[in-house]
Amino acid sequence: MYFVNAPFFLRWFYPSVTFNRSRKEKKIYLTFDDGPIPEVTPFILNTLAKHKIKATFFCVGENIIKHNDIFQRILREGHAVGNHTYHHLKGWDTEDERYLKNIEQCQQLTRTSLFRPPYARAKKSQLKRLYLQFEVVFWDVLSGDFDQTLSPEKCYQNVIRHSKNGSIIVFHDNVKAIPRVQYALPLTIAHFLEKGFSFEKLKPKH
């Protein structure tokens, strides 16, 4: 089970986490988790380049090592990168020191001040220390592209029905998301451009 919109109790439980940017401006923030991988990240980059828009990639360290040419392309094309741990660890199931060391291992590659915990699951004890170094970013719209029971059209509808000014939207550049992100991403961009929105990468608050 997952929530397309970040529910109020999640925002209450994590008061220092970023869920969205300012609601005052017609800006959308596309983010992509888990890559880079050759099966879909280049498609995402090509789509973004076609529309001359920037996004934010929360990268997994071991994928950066495996596919460093794609990671370098992300940087070269002016996108932001965030830390998504080295091994895509679930904080709830990982001892604090191991979790933090795994993040630091990824940080040697990403050198960013943005962090997103995989599965949005990190202990408060872990986050307390991470806040000293990172802006911890969740989202307020989860596309559901990782859900293999979800149709590509429903994934697209999830995004356009729930996004608004300042929304941080999550897609994934992983294998199981491919059919949905390939369908929904171009349509999402076209929809919001037509509505007068701009797309921006995340710039850290600190």
Active site residues: 33, 172
Q: In terms of DSSP H, where are the helices of the chain?
A: 8-13, 41-50, 61-66, 68-76, 96-110, 124-130, 152-162, 178-194
- Give the position of tokens 């940087």: 75
Q: How far is CA 133 from CA 36, 126, 152, 161, 204, in A?
A: 23, 12, 37, 34, 11
Q: Which backbone phi and psi does 117 adopt, to 5 degrees? A: -75, 130
The tokens describing 184, both together, are 């929904």
The rounded distance, in Å, linking the Cα atoms of 96 and 124 is: 10
